[in-house]
Structure 1
């Protein structure tokens, strides 16, 4: 009798171990995603400095890494138990987005130039006139790093007149959901603020449209308000926006 009781007790303990390890991975995966969201929401709401928000997001990455380990161990050790497999898979799926975000962040930090002010014209960059704290272009050193890191960035030349291009440009800024700060059709100037999805980091954008032969030349400058590096964000924004503007003017 005692032997049977002992056997049942051992079975229960084994079952608990089978369920608790993948469950811990699942809960940590949920916590990691929740922590990332809280980090961004807290900064947007002014609960803490952006550096604290990034620190909280870093904690989420550690939680996601542990979640992945526990979930994978649970899958390997108890792959014949349906509940453990389902729980383990959910833990992996929850951990991967947070870890992917961290890996992408680290890759961008190592790959792109350590600058945060990008312009299609580094010799005569478009100016910011209506931003709260207008600042001059950083200068030759930044221009050299930009040309080395983003040699493809250049002004966009279009066959349409500046007035027509300006209308397309303004519509595209509004379609992107950027906050319009200034627009002057006579000067061919648009200033706006683009914000990141999670933390709401603000990047300032200025667009300059001038006559070029029988058509127009479009220059764009994008810079980050916070931090000293942008991990390629401003260059990507310029490439994407100019490509959309070219397509927009070509189809109308």
Structure 2
């Protein structure tokens, strides 16, 4: 019995030396992947594709397997030696980390499967709000062109039929000011803005991985005194945006139409 107890204790201690750094490294790995991509230390191909989606799940699986194995050894030791050995919290923490990792991947895969790939969302596919040459020159190493891709129009019409031009009972000048205020309150980086032209351009960046989007808003006075508002939001990188740009357009229209609040 003493021999079995010693073997179990040695196995638990050895596994603990492996599991402890694994528990620390796994969440740090995902954090570094996201921050490194956001800060521009590497591209999304490395930070998202390789670090997060390819290598990350292997670390999560290792946490789960090692955590379950150590839990089994600890329970076996408890029945053989009639007492618990230290490090009981370590496998629990490993399983929590693994559970969070599996949950995160489940949510990501679910969003990817349920959201259409519409990287260029506009309320006016026939005449999308445009971007100036000055704004285009400031985009840096954006992977996608600012030219509207009509291939997204059909998918948008099917999945987001409500994202169309907004017509409101308000003069164009005050509507433009409200749209610009909403953009600033939402944290968009305003580029060119012209009240007389009724348009402004802006950029936005996601919290995780720093994926950048380009936004153009157009405000036009109609002959009957009402105002038509159009917006276009497109992803700079050719990566599934999980509906990010469509949500931005939807929220903007809701606020400008009096259905929500800026933020």
Summarize the Cα distance change of 1:179–1:21 in structure 2 as closer, same or farther, 3 Å threshold.
same
> Which residue number in structure 2 is paired with residue 205 of structure 1?
215
Moved more, 160-169 or 66-75: 66-75
Given that 1:35 and 1:60 are in contact with CA atoms closer than 8 Å, whether structure 2 keeps it comes out as yes
Structure-to-structure mapping, 1:1-150, within 5 angstroms: 7-18=1-12, 21=15, 24-25=18-19, 27-54=21-48, 55-58=50-53, 59-75=55-71, 78=74, 81=84, 85-129=88-132, 130-132=135-137, 135-139=146-150, 141-150=151-160
97-106 or 197-206, which deviates more: 97-106
Deviations 1:142-175 (A, max 9, x none): 2112112222322333332222222222122112
Q: 1:213-228 alignment to 2 at 5 Å?
A: 213-227=224-238
RMSD: 2.9
Residue 202 of structure 1, CA deviation:
0.9
Aligned length: 244
> Cα offset for 1:61?
2.4
TM-score, structure 2 normalization = 0.78
Change (3 A) 1:249 1:43: closer
Q: Distance in 2 between matches of 1:108 and 1:239?
A: 17
Q: Per the alignment, in what secondary structure is the counterpart of residue 131 of structure 1? A: helix
Instruction: Pick closer, same or farther for the CA change 1:138–1:66 going to 2, 3 Å.
Output: same
Aligned to 2:165: 155
Cα deviations by residue, 1:87-141 (Å, 9 ceiling, x for unpaired)? 23322332334333322332233232233111112122111122336622112x3
1:235 aligned partner: 246
Distance verdict in 2 for CA 1:99–1:163, change over 3 Å: farther
Conserved in 1, the CA contact under 8 Å of 2:39 and 2:210? Answer: no
For the structure 1 residues 217 and 60, does the alpha-carbon distance in structure 2 shift closer, same or farther, using more than 3 Å as the test?
same
Cα distance in 2 for residues equivalent to 1:153 and 1:25: 49
* Separation (CA, whole Å) in 2 of partners of 1:78 and 1:38: 32
Long gaps (5+) in structure 1: 1-6
Would you say the 8 A contact 1:19–1:83 is kept in 2?
no
Q: TM-score w.r.t. structure 1 length?
A: 0.81
Distance 1:56 1:138, change over 3 A: same
